[in-house]
Amino acid sequence: MNNKYMRFAGLVLIAASLGFASCDKDNDVDGTLEKVDLLSEITIEKTIYHTGDQSMSMLPGQEIQMNCVVGSPDALNKNYVWTSSDETVASITPMGYLITKKAGETVISVTPEIGFGSQGATPAVVLKVVDSFMYIDEIEMDEDVKNYLYEENNEGSGIWQNQSYQVTVSALPKDATFKRYKWEVVGGSSDIVTVNQEGVITGVGAGTATIKVTADDFSINPATYTFQVKVKPIVEIKSFEFNEDGDDIKELSALGYGQEIDMNTADVISFNPGNATPYLLKWSSSNSNVVSITEDGKLKVNTTTGGTAELTATYNGITRTKTVTVAEGRLWYSFGNGITPWSLESNDKSSVSELKDGKTTIKMGQTDKGKCRGDLVFVRNGVSQTKITPSVYQYLAVKININANLTAGSNANGCIKLELWNNSDPRIIGDQYLGKGDKLDANNAFKVLNKESFQAGINVIYYDLQANYNKTTPKDWNQTFTLDQLKFVIADYPSTVDQYDIYWVRSFKTLDELEAYVASENATDEAE
């Protein structure tokens, strides 16, 4: 061999040996390599074109700089890259400068520059490019809200000085592109009430004020709505006691995860005098991980594992305490103010459309097969967990409104399937709930309360959690199940059925208890 080539081969061998030595050192065979933190959390900042948390709408030929907030302070590399799933609809540079091109739909995604990233580090937003925006023609407010804030000759209506209240309005048409609003106090009455741009009003001084709401939707002639607010003067509390006969206070012995109660009501507290200002009370909780409470008395249950907390109400040297108990595995969610902490499956391209009348309206997305889908998720693939106790709370009920008649054994008109499983080894329960009987797993593993089948409109459906499951059906129900999946698959609807209303999800011990609750709720609605 030529000496020149021998010298070259020798250099290659020396370089290779040095490289292997370096790799061995970097790989830290002895276990001394420091951990490298990857980017684990990215949040897409809202833009003027956002129509929801995970959706945007723009016209062809518009441009905008997209921005993110990085929540991983220890990450070695905090850079991220933007991409568009359909560059013919909208293109975006790796640094986030977006340009729309033609009508259509694309998914704008962010991924870490290094590593694949966890779910929290790969957010996305569905961008719909449309030829024109659908503007708001009319702004509405629920009559109950309007009367609560101001009702002529009703001394009980109105808010108190120093009390804050979240006002909600709705838009017509329901498919308006941007359901955003600007809020202002009219006529220089800021000494009576104030309002922020989220619609939270706060009483300042006794009197009546007018508030104006204006659509913030790019219209050159935006829709407006005005309403009155009465602010009541403070009436000092002389004494107060817990009202042991109230229905809400009875609930405090077996609260459910997600349950919320206003403790400053006559159903919970008896005041002397009767017209005393309840919001003078200052509340606290001994264990906020179990039950939290705002200073002005808004209680919220934060655990499914069960537990107790002591609530304390104080005013002017008077203190009263109440021990509350959370029942393990009981769910008690209301969706009048949105779906959080539930979420929508991002791949479905669905979004929250409206909050009104104690419900959330979900706009379902179109699938590749021309069907509509909008899964409602609480626990997804072990990302978070929750608990259920079918031996105690055997029935999981849902109040829902969908404009479709469902037929057992067929998905032709849609389905509402409960996916429920845990990931223990071996798996104890799962993969999904199938129900009892033949061919019920297609869409009707549930039963409809007081109906033979699911008819278009409002239905209360329930699942017997002690029924059959795919793959594994527990032989012993007398245990607590820690779930890695709890999700309602709401799918396979024809294009004419592209939305649904969700009112609540609740756990019940017996069907009699469920029927009594629904009957009481219906009676209250009729009385109002």
Within a domain: 273: yes
Query: Considering the domain boundaries, does residue 277 fall inside one?
Result: yes
Domain C-terminal end among 232, 265, 288 = 232
Both structure tokens of 374:
């909008």
Quick one: 191 and 223 in the same domain? Answer: yes
Q: At 367, list the tokens.
A: 């699938």
Q: Is 175 in the same domain as 90?
A: no
CA distance 303 to 309: 12
Where does residue 45 rank: exposed (0-12), middle (13-18), buried (19+ CB within 10 A)?
exposed
Judge if 480 and 346 occupy the same domain. Answer: yes
Residues 339 and 419 in one domain: yes
Amino acid code (one letter) for 190: S
pLDDT at 32 over 50: no
Which pTM was predicted? 0.73
CA nearest neighbour of 265 among 233, 236, 297? 297
**Is the CA virtual torsion 151, 157, 162, 168 positive or negative?**
negative
Residue 183 or residue 1, greater confidence: 183
Distance of CA 434 to CAs 388, 440, 510, Å?
17, 7, 20
Residue 34 counted as domain residue:
no
- For 11, the 3-state DSSP assignment is helix
If asked whether residues 504 and 428 sit together in one domain, one would say yes
Q: What is the pLDDT of residues 324-381, one digit of tens each?
A: 999 999 999 999 888 999 999 877 788 888 888 889 999 999 887 889 999 999 998 8
Report if residue 36 sits inside a domain: no
Task: Render 163-195 in DSSP notation, one character per residue.
Answer: -EEE---EEESTT-S---EEEEEESS-TTTEEE
User: Both 462 and 361 in a single domain?
Assistant: yes
Residue 448 to residue 455: CA distance in whole angstroms:
9
473 occurs within a structural domain: yes
For 281-340, what is each residue's pLDDT tens digit? 999 999 999 999 999 899 999 998 899 999 999 999 999 999 999 999 999 999 988 899
pLDDT at 224 over 90: yes
- Torsion angle of alpha carbons 81, 85, 86, 90, nearest 10°? -40
For residue 149, is it within any domain?
Answer: yes
User: Do 364 and 281 share a structural domain?
Assistant: no
Confirm if 277 and 238 have CB atoms less than 8 A apart.
Answer: no
**Which residues lie closer than 8 Å to 171 by C-beta, 6 or more apart?**
136, 138, 139, 140, 179, 215, 223, 354
Report the domain count for the chain.
4
Confidence label for 7 from pLDDT (cuts 50, 70 and 90)? very low
Q: In this structure, are 388 and 433 located in the same domain?
A: yes
Looking at residue 339, what DSSP letter applies?
-
Residue 505 sits in which domain range? Answer: 335-527
Residue finishing a domain among 179, 207, 232: 232
Averaged pLDDT score across all residues of the chain: 86
Q: Exposed, middle or buried by CB within 10 Å (0-12, 13-18, 19+), for 127? A: buried
**Neighbour-count burial of 155, counting CB atoms closer than 10 A to its CB (0-12 exposed, 13-18 middle, 19+ buried):** exposed
Q: What is the mean pLDDT of residues 112-140?
A: 82
CATH (domain of 453):
2.60.120
Q: Which of 378-382, 436-440, 512-516 has the highest mean pLDDT?
A: 512-516
Q: Using CA atoms, how far apart are residues 151 and 279, in angstroms rounded to an integer?
A: 20
**Which tens digit of pLDDT belongs to each residue from 243-280?**
988 888 888 999 999 999 999 988 899 999 998 999 89
Same domain, 277 and 223: no
Given the structure tokens 């379902």, which residue do they identify? 364
Q: What's 217's DSSP letter?
A: S
Calculate mean pLDDT across residues 19-45: 51
pLDDT surpassing 80 at residue 9: no
DSSP secondary structure of 237-282:
-SEEEE-TT-HHHHHTTSEEET-EEESSSTTTEEEESTT--GGG-E
pLDDT on residue 13: 38
Residues 192, 216, single domain; the answer is yes
Q: How confident is the model at residue 444 (pLDDT cuts 50, 70, 90)?
A: low
Instruction: Report pLDDT for 441.
Output: 58
pLDDT band at residue 387 under the 50/70/90 scheme: very high
Backbone CA torsion sign across 222, 225, 226, 231: negative
Domain for residue 17, yes or no?
no
Question: What's the CATH code of the domain at 300?
Answer: 2.60.40.1080
- Cis peptide before 431, with omega less than 30 degrees from 0? yes
pLDDT, greater one: 370 or 122: 370
Final residue in a domain of this structure, among 312, 333, 354: 333
Same structural domain for residues 307 and 355? no
Strands (E), 85-130: 90-92, 97-100, 104-112, 124-129
Residue 408, domain member (yes or no)? yes
Torsion sign, CA atoms 455, 457, 460, 461: positive
CA distance 279 to 48: 36
> Do both 293 and 407 map to the same domain?
no
